[in-house]
Amino acid sequence: MGSSDAPSDPGEGAAHTLVRRTAALARLDLDEAEIERLAPEFRRILDAFGALAGVAADAPPATDEPHNARTRPDTPRPSLGAERVLRCAPEREGAYYSVPKTVGGDA
């Protein structure tokens, strides 16, 4: 890209550079038209990350567990056993549950 081709918005140039680098990492051979088309999408993504960076850093960290969660000790216990579990099965084949096929076509 020559100096006369330089974008007026420096962020636009960063988006073009990111498209080129990402394409290279993905081993994609993009032409200039594809880079031009993708750059605004990358720019929106960069802007979204910029907005996230502005979120208050003094907020408490997110956690997947409440602070007052009660937990039990992780100690081994006997399992239920196959016969007891299979008693509740709608159908069975030997020592296994039998269920209708739901993925991949006809049974």
State whether residue 85 is helix, strand or coil: helix
Q: Residues near 22 by Cβ (< 8 Å), separated by ≥ 6?
A: 42
This prediction has a pTM of 0.42
Instruction: Tell me the pLDDT tens digit for each residue of 47-98.
Output: 888 888 777 666 666 666 666 667 778 889 898 888 888 888 888 888 888 8
Burial letters for 14-50: b for 16+ Cβ neighbours within 10 Å, e otherwise? ebbebbbeeeeeeeeebeeeebeebbeebbeeeeeee
List the domain boundaries for the chain.
Answer: 9-53
